[in-house]
Structure 1
Amino acid sequence: MTGDGLPAEGDGPGVRQRIFNFDDYGELLALVHNSLLAGVLLGLVGGLAGVFVIRRDLPFAVHGISELSFAGGAAALLLGLNVVAGSIVGSLLAAAAIGLLGVRARDRNSVIGVVMPFGLGLGVLFLSLYQGRAANKFGLLTGQIIAVDTPRISWLLTISLVVLGALAIVWRPLTFASVDPEVAEARGVPVRALSLAFMLVLGLAVALCVQIVGALLVLSLLVTPAAAAARITASTTLLPVLSVLFALVSMEGGILLALGSTVPISPYVTTISFAIYLVCRLATTRRGRAARDLRRSTPRRAETTA
């Protein structure tokens, strides 16, 4: 502040106001109805696909696919094409490569380790050549909520319906193949075909999530909610329900908080999803400790009674 009480030239909103600023919040809320709908779609897709990501130990694959999705979106941005379509192409190429070349877990991790830096390098190259708005570059990495216009929501809705329909078709055999692949293959379940099919579905899910939360933090929707749900239940029915619920809370909560700040949406989504996971983990730890204490006290009670 200057001596006459006026703001100095370098003064601006404080850190807290930049993170949480709800001035004119009602007016802003009316502008993001497409984003809120996109959040519902991402919660459903991320929560359901995340169940198999956890069961099949594929978090690293999600990260690898997201890097190629980022490269595809960056290439489309550079060429003036549809960014969503570019992200889809990049995701499907990465998913197909991982699914075909990485049948075993060791091979899969090696393929991902090769694909991921290649995709990230391509994305950085394309963005460095792009001369348009910096916000478009930043949005591909960390997400944005204001860019979900009507054409993009149509793309997101179409992709979501494809992913949800595919998951509905393969849910039961994929669950069997994920829990016990040897027995499933012995009973005639096409384990390898299902694995490749799920990788392609996962590629579409990653491309969908990248549009809102960005390529760097897509794990917060496709891994963390399902991992949190898996900490508190092993039920084949309750696990996907809780995973979707946690993903919806993270996504919608992140949108509503990001709306009142100048910070991108991704830190809010990741913080909420991490907080949910932490609560679930602490609850499981406390429950396990109580069970151990009960087992230890039972023999003593029996000896006292005798």
Structure 2
Amino acid sequence: MSDDPGFWQRIFDFRDYGELLALVHNSLIAGAVLGVVGGLISAFVMMRDMPFAVHGISELSFAGASGFLLLGQSVVVGSLTGSIGAALLIGALGTRARDRNSIIGVLMPFGLGLGVLFLSLYKGRANNKFGLLTGQIAAVDTPHLAVLSAVSIIVVTGLLIVWRPLTFASTDPELAAARGVPVRLLSPVFMLLLGLTVAMSVQIVGALLVLSIVVTPAAAAMRVTSSPTLVPLLSVAFAVVAMVGGTLLELGSYVPISPYVTTISFVIYLVCRIVGALRAPPTSALGAVA
């Protein structure tokens, strides 16, 4: 790595930080809101073993956003259109894990290819193109924050309504179906909520790094507890720390927010993994042989 001071100033430059901090209250609120929503839905993503689906939806969200950008329309609407379309398609066609993964494997390169095509045809500002991939939280204005907040309320309300049956269906779908839980109906409902969350995340951290908000928090939480109450609470806390911390660090640099968010998320995961390993009871020699 270079020892040139200019290199480090591009990553951590806190000159005039106080003045800049007063200008990004929308970004901090957006980061906290996304942390809450991403942390909540992350628990179900892990319970339902759907990290791959998150990546697939993000690629179609990227394609929708870049297509609307090319047409001069709202990038937010384009991202929502792509995410919801992908989520509903995966939810409708992928009833089994193998089928779902096959569908996602087909959709991902298609969505990414479309997004690259649309961006290559776009002749506007390079920052708009780059931001769709790597995030641009500094660009959150009041209308954008209002949309983000409205979608967040929809997602959180939806999760609260279906929380108990969705938890049951996610942990033991066969028994849940036998008890009369509408397992098949819950799948597209959850996919719709997931699609909305991914669309919001793409606007903030970019299409390539959505997993750091919608997967990593719960993956970390599950390393230290198996409590159905503590997992979502810890997941939300981890996601909020990553988003708000990443926003504060990005403010004093010249690089996008995504490296900071992903690094904080990864460090939290490593710490939780170490803590979980230290707390795990030692396996006896007899148990190891068994």
User: Is 1:182 aligned with 2:174?
Assistant: yes
| TM-score normalised by the chain length of structure 2 | 0.96
Distance 2:8 2:217 in 1: 27
Whichever of the two has the greater Rg, that structure is: 1
> Which residue of the partner structure matches residue 292 of structure 1?
282
Find the partner of 2:74 among 79, 82, 105. Answer: 82
Distance 1:31 1:80 in 2: 27
Q: Residues 59-110 of structure 1, C-alpha deviation per residue, up to 9 Å, x if partnerless?
A: 0000000000000100111111111111000001100111011100000000
| TM-score normalised by the chain length of structure 1 | 0.91
Find the partner of 2:92 among 83, 91, 100. Answer: 100
Gaps of 5+ in 1: 1-11, 297-306
> Which residue of the partner structure matches residue 265 of structure 2?
273
> Which residue of the partner structure matches residue 237 of structure 1?
229
Find the partner of 2:249 among 241, 257, 263. Answer: 257
> Which residue of the partner structure matches residue 197 of structure 2?
205
Distance 1:271 1:26 in 2: 24
Q: How do 1:15-30 and structure 2 match up within 5 A? A: 15-30=7-22
Distance 2:5 2:113 in 1: 35
Find the partner of 2:30 among 23, 35, 38. Answer: 38
Residue 32 of structure 1 contacts residue 145 of structure 1 at CA under 8 Å; is this kept in 2?
A: no
Residue 226 of structure 1 contacts residue 243 of structure 1 at CA under 8 Å; is this kept in 2?
A: yes
User: Is 1:130 aligned with 2:127?
Assistant: no
Letter in 1 for 2:102: S
Q: Residues 189-222 of structure 1, C-alpha deviation per residue, up to 9 Å, x if partnerless?
A: 0101101110011000000111100000000000
Residue 98 of structure 1 contacts residue 112 of structure 1 at CA under 8 Å; is this kept in 2?
A: yes
User: Is 1:171 aligned with 2:163?
Assistant: yes
CA shift for structure 1 position 14: 1.6
> Which residue of the partner structure matches residue 161 of structure 1?
153
CA shift for structure 1 position 31: 1.0
Q: Residues 105-152 of structure 1, C-alpha deviation per residue, up to 9 Å, x if partnerless?
A: 000000000011100011001101110000000000000122101111
Letter in 1 for 2:119: L
| RMSD of equivalent CA atoms | 1.3
> Which residue of the partner structure matches residue 191 of structure 1?
183
> Which residue of the partner structure matches residue 139 of structure 1?
131
State the secondary structure of the residue aligned to 2:223. helix
Distance 2:282 2:63 in 1: 49
CA shift for structure 1 position 13: 5.8
Distance 1:31 1:92 in 2: 32
CA shift for structure 1 position 41: 0.9
CA shift for structure 1 position 181: 0.5
Distance 2:49 2:256 in 1: 29
Runs of 4+ residues deviating >6 angstroms: none
Distance 2:32 2:260 in 1: 16
State the secondary structure of the residue aligned to 1:292. coil
Gaps of 5+ in 2: 286-290
> Which residue of the partner structure matches residue 6 of structure 1?
none
